[in-house]
Amino acid sequence: MKNNYKKILFLVGAFGAFSSNADTLSIDKNELLGKWNLYAESIKLDGEKKAITVEWDFHNDGVLMTKSTDSVGRTKEMVIPVKYSVENGVLKKQSTPGREKYDDCKAVEKDGANLVLNCSNLFFFLKKL
């Protein structure tokens, strides 16, 4: 009976490790450069998407300019620069301006001008402008 549990645990662990590596795609800094429309976010990859209006502009000097538009708020438009880098195929994006805390963002889908990133358990859906 113990051997069956060990086999099951081994298979579950091997499958989990194998599938997590298979779901991540490598990011190249050159393919990020330029403007992207961040049009939706979701807790799950295949879950309900919340529509948002944000533009990400990746500069070659390691600065990501984020421009968000709020049609119902007091601030119609807000522009915030944050630091970023690409290390080992993973986007490392400053989580809060002025703080040296970074989110790891892994590409889970890339298709031409479309990109889906998983950053701190939140999925961002982007389209190259």
Residue 6 in any domain: the answer is: no
Residue 83 in any domain: the answer is: yes
Question: For the chain, what is the mean pLDDT?
Answer: 85
Residue 3 in any domain: the answer is: no
pLDDT in tens, 19-71: 344 467 999 999 999 999 999 999 999 999 999 999 999 999 999 999 998 76
Instruction: Find out whether 26 and 107 touch, Cβ atoms under 8 Å.
Output: yes
Specify the 3-state DSSP secondary structure of 21: helix
Residue in this structure with the two tokens 């976010």, named with its chain if needed: 41
Distance of alpha carbon 60 from the chain centroid:
18
Residue 8 in any domain: the answer is: no
Residue in this structure with the two tokens 């070659």, named with its chain if needed: 60
pLDDT of residue 114: 97
Token pair in block for residue 54: 């944000």
Structurally, how many domains does the chain consist of?
A: 1
In CATH, what number is assigned to the domain containing residue 121? 2.40.128.280
Is 125 exposed, middle or buried (CB count within 10 Å of its CB: 0-12, 13-18, 19+)? buried
pLDDT of residue 126: 98
Percent of the chain with pLDDT over 70: 81
Residue 78 in any domain: the answer is: yes
Residue 9 in any domain: the answer is: no
pLDDT of residue 121: 86
Phi, psi torsion values for 102, nearest 5 degrees: -120, 145
Domain, as residue range, for 99:
26-128
DSSP-assigned beta bridge partners for residue 92: 85, 104
